[in-house]
Structure 1
Amino acid sequence: MKGFNAFVQLFLPKDKVFYSLFEEVADSVAKMGSLLKEVVGEPDFDKRAALISQLETQEHVNDDLTHRIFTELGRNFITPFDREDIHYLASSLDDICDYIYAAAKKINFYKVNPNDPGIQKMADLIEQGSRQIRSAVKELRNMRDMRTITDALVRVNSIENQADDIFDMSIERLFETEPDAKEVIKKRDIYQVMEIVTDKCEDATNVIESIIIKYA
């Protein structure tokens, strides 16, 4: 399928190639958000490790897609929107995937039980945010349904604000209820990485907002 997609892209107008690649990246972001939710919902360490392996594979797929975007940017004079915006959007989407994978890795590396209210809620928000990112990116090709894009941007902003609140409450609860200093350090690190994911989602929506202001 990957080879077929590459073959098809040879026949697309060169500026349209970017839309196809970004849509694949958006699918990757949403898939990784869903996989992270599965990771924190899986109590068995070995089964979690298998899910994290899937996340690693998907993260590599996303790296390849991002590299292809940058390659196309270097070889094409015609682009659907500003070259700078293409670069920023590709980088911000790649950051989301990188930090999702980093959060999952830390859960098993630290051998932390993810059945923790803060981790669970953060994973919910990340899954929601990744789906909203996909919705917004997929509308860039035509920019006909501006309501879908703007609604997604507003929701991601709300998700990021909620994540900040969850982070603060989780840290407060951690210091009040966790007697083991090592567990405090481990969980705080996981909270921080998960909160960064929502920041990166908001970064991506800021780029999308810049694009629609210029071209819608």
Structure 2
Amino acid sequence: MSLNSIISWLKPHEMVFFDLLESSASNLVDAAKHFEAEFKSRQTPGEWAGMRRKMKDLEHAGDEITHEIVDRLNRTFITPIEREDILHLAHCLDDVVDCLDGVCERLVLYKITNVMPTAVELGRLIVAGAEEVKPLIGHLRNMSNGKDINKRIQYCNELENQADAVYHAALAEIFENPKDPIELIKWKEILSLLEDATDRIELVSKVVSSTVMRNA
């Protein structure tokens, strides 16, 4: 039996990596939706604790999936796609949830009272991006490289561009009239985490794109 035949026979047995990546993408969608819903509806410091507890549960769930992926990679000789791509995707998906968890932590620690509308808009863009990432990860199963995947990748790029514009507008807002330098520092950190989340989402779409192109 040739090496290519052996690889073709072995690969289907490692489809669990796709299952795990899809679970991580689903967890990301849940985290993003939870964040957006709670972020735009809560305004007092005492209300942030519940939001943070739920987000911490989602963050732990994402960590468990990532650890399972890493563990299986260490025990698997043949993987359905490059192990570097699997690892990169796993960490990027997990990083987005980590960013949202970091924001929730700071909302509690900093006792944030008034939420910036621009920050809420970043939350909405993160949800939109997460909802695109989930089906993109699904394309890895059959390596389809059609119009659907190209549209989704392009949309992720457009969302990241919108997020950059919103982020810079938010920075301009807090620096324009810095009445309280402490509040400025708090919001700059929160905004940076939200912007980083959108960058990671776009990175996931780029990794999926390059992976599909190499394997189609």
Aligned 8 A contact 1:32 1:55 in 2: yes
User: Structure 2: which 5+ residue stretches go unaligned?
Assistant: 1-10
- 1:5 paired residue number: none
Q: 1:11-47 CA deviation, whole Å, 9 max, x = no partner?
A: x953111011111001011111111102212224444
The answer to whether the Cα contact below 8 Å between 2:145 and 2:212 also exists between their aligned partners in 1 is no
1:17 maps to 16
Distance 2:180 2:104 in 1: 22
Which structure has the larger Rg over C-alpha atoms? 2
Unaligned runs of 5+ in 1: 1-11
Structure 2 match to 1:85? 85
Q: Does 1:26 align with 2:25?
A: yes
List per-residue Cα deviations over 1:85-117 (Å, max 9, x = no partner): 111111111111111211222122211235311
Partner SS for 2:141: coil
CA distance in structure 1 between the aligned counterparts of 2:41 and 2:82, rounded to whole angstroms: 42
Amino acid at match of 1:175: F
Q: 2:21, 2:156 → 1: CA distance?
A: 18
Partner of 2:34: 35
Q: Which residue of 2 aligns with 1:7?
A: none
How many angstroms apart in 1 are the aligned matches of 2:71 and 2:148? 30
State the distance in 2 between where 1:14 and 1:101 align.
34
Aligned equivalents of 2:98, 2:152: Cα separation in 1? 21
Partner of 2:195: 195
Paired residue secondary structure (1:140) = helix
Residues 1:52 and 2:52 aligned together = yes
**Aligned residues between the structures:** 205
TM-score norm. by structure 2 comes to 0.88
Q: Contact 1:40–1:120 (CA<8 Å) still a contact in 2?
A: yes
Report if the CA contact (8 A) 1:107-1:114 is conserved.
no
Aligned to 1:210: 210
Three-state SS of the structure 2 residue aligned to 1:139 is helix
Q: Distance in 1 between matches of 2:80 and 2:93?
A: 18
- The Cα of 1:177 is off from its aligned counterpart by 3.4
State the distance in 2 between where 1:147 and 1:105 align. Answer: 40
Q: How big is the shift at 1:144? A: 3.8
CA contact (8 A) 1:100 1:194 kept: yes
Q: What is the letter of the counterpart of residue 213 of structure 1? A: M
Task: Name the % identity.
Answer: 29
Cα distance change, pair 106–148 in 1 and its aligned pair in 2 (3 A): farther
